[in-house]
């Protein structure tokens, strides 16, 4: 049940302009960790800079917008007012990686005017672990409807810091391996952009609450300046965003940590989103799922009709039986509907979202699933033809609802960075489309897992049915190529900062019997660890039932929950290794995942997160001594030990290795 706990009331302290000098206003975070200064320069252009403790976080950086027409919002401003307030509240997530989240910030609102009478506010929220700011346009006479051609927001770094990045406008959306270079060596990259500053700080630049605006890409503008680069509307229309006042842009966010792990437990993005707008969301339930999916990637089935069509009634019943036997809540079925025959990508065919293929008896299967206590997960591959999808949106979701499907996986596969209608996959048009789908999901009480999505920006707080997204190279890349072993040691510090990631872990047949000359670059106990390391409220066990049955390691997948009380990062270096412990919501059970890249290494940690004075039993799923991601990926052993909050453990992780631990109190 969703419940907001207001621990400390909203303290509103409107103050008169607190300018220290003309056109400059300062604000600090509640614990004074971050100090931010807003200023107008001699041309009346807004800007800001910020420090974290004694270290420079953001050097003097420009703000403003270029509009289509004459009255650009870039310079010539007057500061007409500034006001501050403080806010401190602890709220409860209906589901999540952390149950209670403190939202504690000081806010500065600067009100600017420009002749003739254009009004723009810039609002900064300064936290002890980061900054959010956005542009707001009150209802006004002169600025009512306008077109944004460029956003001038800068994040000027103090040095040529290192960053982990994936390219923007590369034609493959967010599905790239990460590269680590100094910021001077990239061109335009996606966010979250994670940076290791030469002064020792870790930063992540991203955005929050992207709803009716274009996505922010980061452009290297030279001289250590990272500049906002908004995705255009389409290939033929350079407008970045259409705005009608009153209007607020998404928040621009800068998260800060003293260790890489600090970024993982930084909930600033969620805090900057509006509280739940859906009311009672007890129907949004985390869970685990299996599905008719991986078999298509390993040449054991097809989405399209034919002799290997996988979404047939008999095969789906096998998955339903397996799900029911092992406690999974859902069964995903891909390739169930008309549209897959032919080259469906990029709008090549018209998908029909209410017409099953003849060998898929949806009535019988939804009845059978219900009888067994599980539900079918619908699949809406759109081929990125958003217009075809929107025409059917209501009937498509009604169909899910009528067949007891509580979750839908959506997909937008195209050939490049643009939709069939020419709009950019990450532009304002797609942001609007995405919101339409979330709203329709809410209408029919459906949870959404989106593939080829627009990036997550914390909207799950406002719309808790928006449970998970892909938006990175997922497991599927291991079937038609490889994710290098360091990929998943980078993801928790980069992509996952945006929100839950539907990576779909759990391959046990890592040598891929049915795929020639390829195997998954992982080890079996690393696949287990991913259920903890990669957060998602709906986690898939992607392999075939026959690869799980009878394997003792499967018990970890059965046991691991997907809804957490709290999350602790025990150690980690970006791209090297990471260890995360999470407490199952409402219990004293803990689950720990630790993974390494292609290097064998020893990992140690203490169980100091456990309740002192209590004894627990830990079941450890670890690589066997001769395991190796290339030579022997499935070698593992299971060990048990008693632990207390004073215990520690030493684990050797082999190349591409990992370990998973389940910890239960001893009664």
Query: From the CB of 333, what's the least distance to ligand NOJ, in Å?
Result: 11
Per rule CB under 6 A, is residue 655 in the interface with ligand NOJ?
A: no
- How many residues of this chain interact with ligand NOJ, rule: CB under 6 A? 9
Per rule CB under 6 A, is residue 499 in the interface with ligand NOJ?
A: no
Question: What does the per-residue mask of binding to ligand NOJ show for 94-133, with x meaning CB under 6 A?
Answer: ----------------------------------------
Please say whether the beta carbons of 596 and 489 come within 8 A: yes
Please say whether the beta carbons of 299 and 342 come within 8 A: no
Per rule CB under 6 A, is residue 563 in the interface with ligand NOJ?
A: no
Question: What does the per-residue mask of binding to ligand NOJ show for 288-307, with x meaning CB under 6 A?
Answer: -----x--------------
Per rule CB under 6 A, is residue 345 in the interface with ligand NOJ?
A: no
Among 66, 413, 515, 638, binds ligand NOJ (CB under 6 A): 413
What radius of gyration, in Å, describes the C-alpha atoms of the chain?
25
Give 248 or 475: the residue with its C-beta nearer to ligand NOJ.
Answer: 475
Query: From the CB of 293, what's the least distance to ligand NOJ, in Å?
Result: 6
d(CA 574, CA 178) in angstroms, rounded, equals: 11
Per rule CB under 6 A, is residue 451 in the interface with ligand NOJ?
A: yes
Q: Please identify, among the stretches 33-41, 149-157, 470-478, 541-549, the one whose residues bind ligand NOJ according to the rule CB under 6 A.
A: 470-478
Per rule CB under 6 A, is residue 476 in the interface with ligand NOJ?
A: yes
d(CA 289, CA 32) in angstroms, rounded, equals: 45
Between strands 202-208 and 251-257, the pairing is antiparallel
Cα–chain center distance at 174? 11
Per rule CB under 6 A, is residue 381 in the interface with ligand NOJ?
A: yes
Give me the active site residues, please: 476
Give 301 or 485: the residue with its C-beta nearer to ligand NOJ.
Answer: 301
Query: From the CB of 561, what's the least distance to ligand NOJ, in Å?
Result: 23
Task: Write the secondary structure of 148-202 as one string of H (helix), E (strand) and C (coil).
Answer: EEEECCEEECCCCCEEEECECCCCCCCCCCCEEEEHHHCCEECCCEEEECCCCCE
Query: From the CB of 319, what's the least distance to ligand NOJ, in Å?
Result: 15
Structure tokens given for 519: 């195997």
- Among 320, 325, 323, 355, residue whose Cα is nearest residue 340: 355
List C-alpha distances in Å: 281 to 2, 5, 460, 465, 641: 7, 16, 12, 8, 39
Give 59 or 470: the residue with its C-beta nearer to ligand NOJ.
Answer: 470
Question: Phi and psi of 470, rounded to 5°?
Answer: -85, -105
Please say whether the beta carbons of 130 and 254 come within 8 A: yes
State the DSSP string of 308-337: TB---HHHHHHHHHHHHHHT--EEEE-S-B
Q: Which residue has the tokens 């990259």?
A: 189
d(CA 545, CA 548) in angstroms, rounded, equals: 5
List C-alpha distances in Å: 386 to 301, 454, 509, 655: 27, 13, 36, 43
Give 96 or 474: the residue with its C-beta nearer to ligand NOJ.
Answer: 474
Among 411, 464, 505, 657, binds ligand NOJ (CB under 6 A): 411
Per rule CB under 6 A, is residue 470 in the interface with ligand NOJ?
A: yes
Give 121 or 334: the residue with its C-beta nearer to ligand NOJ.
Answer: 334
Per rule CB under 6 A, is residue 543 in the interface with ligand NOJ?
A: no
List C-alpha distances in Å: 341 to 57, 310, 534, 560, 609: 53, 13, 34, 38, 53
Query: From the CB of 377, what's the least distance to ligand NOJ, in Å?
Result: 12
Among 59, 97, 196, 334, binds ligand NOJ (CB under 6 A): 334
Query: From the CB of 190, what's the least distance to ligand NOJ, in Å?
Result: 17
Q: Residues in the site for ligand NOJ, rule: CB under 6 A?
A: 293, 334, 381, 411, 413, 451, 470, 474, 476
């Amino acid at each position: 049940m969703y419940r907001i706990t207001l621990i400390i009331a909203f303290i509103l302290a409107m103050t008169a302009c607190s300018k220290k000098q003309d056109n400059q206003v300062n604000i600090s975070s509640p614990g004074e960790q971050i100090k931010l200064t807003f200023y107008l320069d001699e041309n009346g252009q807004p800007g800001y800079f910020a420090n974290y403790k004694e270290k420079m976080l953001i050097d003097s950086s420009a703000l403003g917008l270029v509009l289509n027409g004459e009255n650009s919002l870039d310079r010539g401003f007057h500061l007409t007012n500034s006001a501050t307030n403080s806010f401190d509240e602890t709220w409860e997530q209906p589901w999540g990686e952390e149950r209670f989240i403190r939202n504690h910030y000081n806010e500065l609102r600067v009100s600017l005017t420009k002749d003739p009478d254009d009004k723009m506010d810039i609002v900064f929220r300064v936290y002890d672990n980061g900054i959010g700011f956005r542009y707001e346009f009150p209802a006004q006479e002169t600025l009512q409807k306008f077109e944004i051609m460029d956003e001038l927001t800068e994040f000027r770094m103090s040095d040529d810091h290192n960053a982990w990045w994936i390219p923007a406008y590369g034609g493959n959306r967010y599905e790239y391996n990460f590269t680590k270079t100094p910021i001077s060596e990239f061109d335009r990259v996606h966010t979250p952009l994670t940076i290791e500053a030469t002064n020792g700080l870790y930063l992540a630049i991203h955005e929050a609450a992207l709803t009716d605006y274009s996505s922010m890409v980061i452009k290297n503008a030279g001289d250590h300046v990272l500049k906002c680069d908004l995705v255009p509307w389409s290939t033929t229309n350079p407008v970045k965003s259409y705005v009608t006042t009153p209007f607020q842009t998404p928040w621009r966010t800068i998260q800060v940590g003293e260790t890489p792990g600090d970024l993982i437990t930084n909930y600033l993005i969620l805090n900057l989103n509006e509280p739940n707008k859906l009311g009672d969301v007890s129907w949004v339930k985390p869970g685990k799922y299996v599905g008719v999916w991986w078999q298509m990637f390993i040449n054991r089935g097809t989405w399209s009709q034919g002799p290997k069509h996988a979404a047939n009634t008999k095969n789906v019943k096998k998955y339903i039986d397996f799900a029911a036997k092992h406690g999974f809540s859902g069964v995903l079925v891909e390739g169930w509907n008309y549209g897959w025959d032919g080259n469906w990508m990029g709008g090549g065919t018209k998908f029909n979202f209410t017409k099953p293929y003849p060998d898929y008896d949806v009535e019988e299967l939804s009845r059978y699933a219900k009888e067994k206590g599980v539900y079918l997960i619908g699949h809406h591959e759109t081929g990125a033809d958003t217009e075809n999808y929107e025409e059917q949106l209501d009937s498509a979701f009604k169909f899910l609802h009528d067949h007891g499907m509580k979750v839908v996986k959506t997909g937008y596969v195209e050939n490049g960075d643009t939709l069939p209608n020419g709009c950019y996959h990450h532009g304002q048009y797609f942001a609007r489309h995405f919101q339409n789908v979330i709203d329709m999901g809410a209408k029919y009480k459906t949870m959404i897992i989106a593939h080829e999505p627009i990036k997550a920006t914390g909207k799950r707080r406002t719309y808790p049915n928006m449970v998970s997204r892909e938006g990175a190279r997922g497991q599927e890349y291991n079937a038609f190529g490889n994710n290098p072993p360091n990929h998943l040691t980078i993801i928790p510090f980069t992509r996952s900062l945006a929100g839950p990631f539907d990576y779909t872990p759990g391959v046990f047949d890592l040598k891929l019997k049915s795929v020639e000359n390829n195997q998954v670059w992982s080890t079996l106990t690393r696949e287990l660890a991913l259920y903890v390391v990669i957060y998602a409220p709906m986690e898939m066990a992607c392999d075939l039932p026959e690869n799980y049955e009878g394997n003792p390691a499967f018990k970890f997948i059965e046991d691991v929950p997907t809804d957490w009380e709290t999350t602790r990062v025990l150690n980690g270096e970006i791209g090297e290794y990471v260890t995360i412990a999470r407490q199952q919501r409402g219990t004293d059970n803990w689950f720990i995942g630790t993974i390494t890249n292609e290097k064998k290494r020893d990992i140690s940690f203490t169980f100091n997160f456990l309740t002192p004075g209590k004894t627990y039993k830990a079941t450890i799923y670890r690589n066997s001594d001769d395991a190796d991601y290339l030579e022997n990926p499935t070698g593992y052993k299971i060990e048990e030990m008693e632990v207390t909050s004073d215990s520690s453990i030493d684990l050797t992780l082999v190349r591409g290795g990992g370990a998973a631990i389940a910890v239960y109190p001893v009664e």
